[in-house]
Structure 1
């Protein structure tokens, strides 16, 4: 590991949590250069929904490269982009009766958020945007302004202007109706909250601690935005692309956002980000918002192939089934060790086990890594074990990973007693 310590910036993060040199990967397994296998409950922070080196996706990319297909094309027309647009429209948009224009942004989620915020402000002619407590939307300047975690919001480099934070559902428990609070702030001309151009929200706050919005809350938020002529932006970067069981995480709430941001798994494992917008909102002038790598044609190829998993309901049903297994596995841990005072939150195949006592979740995650499981933490205090395996993980491997978590909890609590 010396070369990384000597040459790579101190900003490196995951290498500290998972201190080994990975060499190969397949499906839901990572293998380091010493041949040790690790079950992946991290999946590239939700990028690898279809697993590492998915054979169907890899085959399509290899064939495209060998045929000298266009790799970098800015926003020029290419056969790869055409195939993606046709497949995304026929497989995702049309069956859901969704009418959206598609903007290709720079290839990361924060690029999509920046574009969505810029577009909303331009269209509405208003600058304020409402975001929510514990929200995470990226770390470039505009996206960082709507991100809540103080760890990222250093006074030395953040612009706080034109963003108002409001409480997410259940932020204050059941004692405060957060939507009623938002309505009051909008209606009261002396509240200090300028009428926003847009509201940006995650249906599940993944980095924020696996905080799950209910269908009723999302529907109420959508109705509120319609009433006051505010654009609703759904950030579906981490929990979209099938993570919750449906392709979009908001489908269960029966709402149609004005703008949707997608990245991570949309590229089939490669860098790609898009913004979906109502056609009437597509008011960009040609070239008004650009990016050198908004034409990642290899990602178009990968995504087109990945979208074939949505030709029927098999994957969606599998996600619900495996998601239930994940909940059941965590519930066994919760009931077996009540002293943890653990809480379980999630939907589909994203689940969190919150352990209030500081440091316990981190110790469990480290123990899991020693036993061959890669799993990150979430929440403001890193108090939540975040389970995010590839959607295609085999059932037995999923159960094995859950067993490792249970064993690690037992070991950590035993070591604490001895200490």
Structure 2
């Protein structure tokens, strides 16, 4: 099936024929070091030649199982047929006019799809951008002009981008903020419902964390000064933290009661990644604004802010935009990605990935006490590693060692977490179950070798 593999010529198999990285990748790495800024890192310096389905093929002929999806971007695969077909056709017609100069149908069509797919049956409008950070930054602009307020509330362990404003919104210092200040003002951080580490236990976490957050907002900022509350319904870089049940509805209701724009940052968790079109649907949350990027366009750069029409229309004409925002080729790719998600029912595939992964990981947890917590939804699953399950002391060295061992065996995995002790798994939603289980076999063997 070409939809799953990115073409019949790319075998869906793990193949390790050299050390990883191999000699050709090492040669390219030397060239890279000479001309690419050192601040641009790479998880694994193997240089890709082809990718699709659940594998990445490198210049040395190795074929790696992909548990990263380019950080939740290639959910439909790296070269899904509908994405390639639509983007290729658009490339042949024109690559750019700038929507703000002479518009085109693709931009409108993507906004129509977003209005249909995002939660809520209210009238919605969208604006398209290039990256997730741009989407978040523009959501803040829209919320501020709509409310005539300035303060923005974000949460512990949150990640929202690398621009100056979104660095201020992001919780983690290294590597995202260190040395890059001063940051944008009027940003305030409050507790999030991190059940695994909540002092009184996960069963109390949701209501207690919500009460603490609301108390801090009320006392330290004043609800009448808050333009927006921004949260990831599943916190990504912070460690795939699912806020404890009840937390998000309470925060959303507080926002509604106080005229605050509630923004769901679904950049990593959106577009079938958690087994629903958007993660906020799990507790019936209907955000005022929702930011999307990553999985929206099958690997091409596209992002969006979608929300209530009256809020989106608050910005004056010319106040939103950007030269490349809603590029026609990226819009065509997005329509192809959404087509693929629908046709292959990738929400169902994400739920099946969760079933397989959580079952296997739970069995590993019984054997390996270093696994303190298993969490996440759909194909957005993580394990938090600890030195002692009783104390829950973070074990970042174990996460690094496991990732290294997996990479050597031809499995691409990523780490994350405020404490650097989380292994996160973001396989393409089109990955074959045989590859999924083979990847889990490698992870289990890596634990055994710790």
TM (norm. structure 2) is 0.85
Q: Tell me what 1:213 maps to.
A: 243
Question: Among residues 308, 312, 333, which one is paired with 2:339 in the alignment?
Answer: 308
170, 185, 193: which one pairs with 1:169? 193
SS in structure 1 of the partner of residue 442 of structure 2: helix
Structure 1 residues 383-403: Cα deviation after superposition (integer angstroms, max 9, x where no partner): 101100111111111111111
What residue in structure 2 maps to residue 37 of structure 1?
63
Count, aligned residues: 403
Aligned to 2:105: 79
User: Does structure 2 conserve the Cα–Cα contact (< 8 Å) formed by 1:27 and 1:52?
Assistant: yes
Determine the structure 2 residue equivalent to 1:100. 124
> Structure 2 unaligned runs (5+)?
1-28, 387-394
Which of the residues 104, 121, 125 maps onto 2:144?
A: 121
Looking at structure 1, the residues matched to 229 and 295 of structure 2 have their Cα atoms a distance apart, in angstroms, of 24
Aligned counterparts of 1:275 and 1:50: Cα–Cα separation in 2: 21
| 1:170-319 matches, cutoff 5 A | 170=194, 173-175=198-200, 177-188=208-219, 191=220, 195-281=225-311, 282-311=313-342, 314-319=345-350
Stretch moving more, 18-27 or 167-176: 167-176
2:373 aligned with 1:334? no
Per-residue deviation, 1:410: 1.5
CA apart distance, 1:174: 5.0
Quote the residue 1:153 is aligned against: 177
Q: C-alpha separation between the residues in 2 aligned to 1:160 and 1:78?
A: 35
In the alignment, the residues of structure 2 paired with residue 262 and residue 331 of structure 1 have an alpha-carbon distance, to the nearest angstrom, of 31
Please report how far the alpha carbon of residue 63 of structure 1 lies from its aligned counterpart in structure 2 after TM superposition: 2.5
| Structure 1 residue ranges (4+ consecutive) displaced by more than 6 angstroms after TM superposition | none
Deviation at 1:329, TM superposition (A): 1.8
Is 2:292–2:305's contact at 8 Å kept on the other side of the alignment? Answer: yes
Deviations 1:211-238, CA, capped at 9 Å, x for gaps? 1024421111111111122110100000
Unaligned runs of 5+ in 1: 414-419
Match in the other structure for 2:447 = 409
User: Structure 2 CA distance, aligned partners of 1:18 and 1:153?
Assistant: 22
Deviates more, 1:344-353 or 1:79-88: 79-88
What TM-score, normalized to structure 1? 0.91
1:301 and 1:242 mapped to 2: Cα distance? 19
Q: Give the 3-state SS of the residue equivalent to 1:161 in structure 2.
A: coil
Residue among 35, 38, 44 paired with 1:7: 35
RMSD of aligned Cα (Å)? 1.9
Q: What SS does the corresponding residue of 2:279 show, helix, strand or coil?
A: coil
Contact preservation (8 Å) 1:72, 1:295: no
1:330 deviates by: 1.4
Residue of structure 2 equivalent to 1:136: 159
- Per the alignment, do residues 123 and 323 of structure 1 end up closer, same or farther by CA in structure 2, a change over 3 Å counting? same
Change (3 A) 1:59 1:192: closer
Name 2:412's counterpart in structure 1: 374
